[in-house]
Amino acid sequence: MTDKEVAILDFGSQKISVLVGARDVNNTINVKCTYQENYEGFMDGEFIEPSKLDDVIFSCISGAEKMCDMRIKKIVVGVPTEFCFSVCKNVSKTFLKQKRITKNDIDLLFDSVDIPLKTHTIINRGSVYYILGESNKVKNPIGQVESKITACLSFVLADNRFLNTVSKILARTNIDDIDFVCSAYAQSLYLFDEEERDKYVLMVDIGYITSTVMLARGEGVLNLTSFSLGGGFISADLSKCLKIPFNDAEQLLKKIVLCIEPSELDTYDIMIDRTVVPVSMKVANAIVESRIEMIARAIQKCFNSWQYNFPDFIPIHLTGGGISFIKGGKDLLSKILGKNVEISTLPYNITTKTNYSSCMAVLNYALNRKN
């Protein structure tokens, strides 16, 4: 691996991904290689098949190394929200006299926060905002002169069981330089610019079997919640209700169109065992809509449980591969939640596939850390 390249390991709820990349012109990202393996994923803060995790991670690491013809010695690991939570603390410091604020002063503010937890470790920290004096709110106080500084600071903590499990597996691949980042936190920094984040960002990442709901502001995370529902549940519903194989249900889901009102005679045609099988459009749409309504209720439950509120006018930014590709899916979500829903696109039009949002965000984070 060259000095300009970084490697990342990202855990989706359906796939584990290893990406190797470097910065390109105009701050874009040049992805050297991508290697992915399906696995059983995780639910409720636990891996579904932990005994098979070693093999999948080994396969992803070795696969990426062969594709890039290199050895991975350092890696940044994206930690799913299922294994994380966030805490915000307000802290202040009054100096004896006016002084120029330095980076060391800011570091001391962060270090002054004590979060006594034996089960979790702080993996990321960032500022929501700073206030100089009594009311001068600023994004970056470094270099400014004042006698008092107050800050709203955000900390993301990860479950030690996840950190220890992944670290031990990676150590057996001779990777011992490991950094961790909450995938959702990385997404907030990658998908949205400074101006957007300063006005609050409300992001919903609906994955395959788990979803994340996050409120971010500035360089920090105000609220962070996850729940075990996603696009895979919609496929399972179609399979169960229509009595068709799961793989065929997944193909049917790609054909679903919720933005039209079907008649009793309208059908989706799918191939099952080399035979074209018509499926009632009205019935299939009703099954999909029912599960999206359930996901919407889970999202609303997250909003209701949060400590920090957000302005009513800000939209929901939808990402992940769970329902963003379903035609009419975001519109139904918007109708149920009573909020505008926008699908988040990746910067520089790298890909239109929102299921790459997490791994590209972690890669962007790793490259920023390197610089």
Positive or negative, the CA dihedral 124, 158, 14, 16 is positive
| Token pair in block for residue 345 | 């696109």
pLDDT at 2: 77
**Matching CATH topology for 5-82+160-191+348-370 and 193-343?**
yes
Which of the listed CATH numbers 3.30.420.40, 3.60.150.10, 3.30.70.580, 3.30.470.20 matches domain 193-343? 3.30.420.40
What's the pLDDT score for residue 291? 97
pLDDT at residue 302, as a whole number = 96
pLDDT above 80: residue 352: no
Given this model, what pLDDT does residue 164 score?
96
- Tokens describing residue 277: 């099988």
What is the average pLDDT across 265-273?
A: 94
Angle between helices 231-242 and 281-305 (to 10 degrees): 140
- Would the pTM count as exceeding 0.85? yes
pLDDT of residue 347: 81
Q: What is the pLDDT of residue 353?
A: 63
| Per-chain mean pLDDT for the chain | 93
What local confidence, expressed as pLDDT, does residue 26 receive?
82
Closest CA to 80 of 153, 187, 223, 202: 187
Residue 301 pLDDT > 90, yes or no? yes
pLDDT at residue 215, as a whole number: 97
The C-alpha atoms of residue 358 and residue 185 are separated, in whole angstroms, by 10
Q: Let me know: does 136 contact 90? Beta carbons within 8 Å.
A: no
Q: Please give the pLDDT value at position 346.
A: 85
3-class state of residue 276 by DSSP: strand
Q: What is the mean pLDDT of residues 321-325?
A: 91
Mean pLDDT for 286-299 is 97
Question: What local confidence, expressed as pLDDT, does residue 304 receive?
Answer: 95
Query: What pLDDT was estimated at residue 206?
Result: 96
Mean pLDDT within 297-323: 94
| Residue 241's pLDDT band (cuts 50, 70, 90) | very high
* Pick from 102-106, 121-125, 207-211, 347-351: least confident: 347-351
- The domain limits of the chain are 5-82+160-191+348-370, 85-156, 193-343
Contact of 288 with 253, CB cutoff 8 Å? yes
Question: Hey, what are 145's tokens?
Answer: 């002169």
From 79-83, 346-350, 354-358, the region with the lowest mean pLDDT: 346-350
May I ask the CATH class of domain 85-156? alpha beta
pLDDT tens column, 355-366: 789 999 999 999
**What type of residue sits at position 241?**
C
pLDDT above 80: residue 86? yes
What's the topology of domain 5-82+160-191+348-370? Nucleotidyltransferase; domain 5 (3.30.420)
Copy the structure tokens of residue 150: 């107050």
The predicted structure's pLDDT at residue 350: 52
pLDDT digits over 144-203, tens only?
A: 999 999 999 999 999 999 999 999 999 999 898 999 999 999 999 999 999 999 999 999
What mean pLDDT comes out for the span 286-295?
A: 97
Cα end-to-end distance, the chain, whole Å: 16
Model confidence at 27, pLDDT cuts 50, 70, 90, reads: confident
DSSP string, 43-61: ETTEESSGGGHHHHHHHHH
